[in-house]
Amino acid sequence: MLDEELKTIFQKIDDSKNEMIGFLSDVIKIPALSPEFDGDGEEEKVGLIQRYLEEFGFREFERYDAPDNRVSSGKRPNLIAWLRGKSHEKRLLIITHTDVVPPGDASQWMTDPYRVMENEEKLYGRGVEDNGQSITSSIFAAKALTDLDIKPAYDVGLIFVADEEIDNEKGIKYLINKDIFRNEDMILVPDHGTPDGRLIDIAEKSILWVKISTKGKQCHASMPDSGNNALRAAMKFGVMVDELLHKKFNLEDKMFDHPISTFEPTKTEPNVSNVNTIPGNDVFFMDCRILPQYKTNDVISEMKNVAKVIEKETGNNINIDYILNDPAAPSTSIDSVIVKKLMNVVNLINNNRPFAGGIGGGTCAAIFRHAGHPAVAWETVENNAHAPNEYIRIINMLNDCKVFAALYLDEY
């Protein structure tokens, strides 16, 4: 049941709806694309966010700029805005990212991707979900407290990082190397969630991306004996390895949204351009999401064993190379302070019995866990990030804002 203080805070947030939409609209106008996407980085967007924060009453900032000569400013900005609390012994840190991915095919969008469009209580635009909603909600939760002259129970740090859409080297990993995080920090990464807001992500699977290169001998398709079909060998490998991996790594873990390990063939590279030529080379890739109970290197070993069998049978040569080998980080304990507080607050506000679980996708929370910092990922979203016509529901933005505001207060 809500007390009078929370009711007042929540009313303030509801009254800020149009201001929040206006703020988010201004944020989305600035692309903040990484140089890998031919963009100029996050400097302009971070400058806009800091100006808003100063207008909202924030007075204490820290900047940790990662050098990058590929962008005009020469740096990738990471900004921390502090809202000091009654106690400085512990801190709640909300980590959001300012970079976005490109819009993709413009013809697939109903409107300009960098101009927020409101329609049927939804907001459309590139970056509104990833990560604009959480940037807005975390800021306006703090603004509601400062407007009402309510001090949080402990220091709240709003951290806006660069480079999340590429590899985090200029963002979270850069900050971790600066030793600014403490073991007792409560770390929330609102960059993954579900439409009902029930899932609190405390664990993630290992991620293994594998490249399978098959070599044979190219020839005319009407004379197959004069060549050695690389595609046929690749197809045999794919069928055999698919069956073996699912059979050997077959544990189920109900903590995860998809409770088994997955081994999916995905991308293929062109081999020959015409139908009547047998390919001498073939390349395809697999995306493997592996339960933490297994080692990624064991999966690679089994794939190499299959390759040897196919090589002996066909005379082709098969190389197995991984392009990403990211073993699962230790899970965040369900008994950790941030998990308990978040579960209480989400249940209080949304009345929907949240639960702690794991996912197959990767979030930045895993980077913190690898570094020994318990972290969780949570937000309420439709999961259409990176898609054309990316959108959020306004009600989710408001409710997440209320969750953040309650987290800033110690009794919940």
Q: List active site positions.
A: 99, 164
Half-sphere exposure of 378 (CA within 13 A, CB side): 32
| CA–CA distance, 294 with 263 (Å, rounded to integer) | 13
Beta bridge partners, 67, equal 75
Give the tokens for residue 160. Answer: 């806006």
Who's near 39: CB < 8 A, 6+ residues apart? 31, 32, 33, 71, 99, 102
CB 338 within 8 A of CB 228: no
Instruction: Using alpha carbons, select from 102, 115, 118 the residue that is nearest to residue 166.
Output: 102
Q: How many CB atoms lie within 10 A of CB 386?
A: 16
| CA–CA distance, 227 with 279 (Å, rounded to integer) | 9
CB 59 within 8 A of CB 80: no
Q: How many CB atoms lie within 10 A of CB 4?
A: 7
Who's near 338: CB < 8 A, 6+ residues apart? 92, 186, 187, 188, 332, 374, 375, 376
Half-sphere exposure of 54 (CA within 13 A, CB side): 9
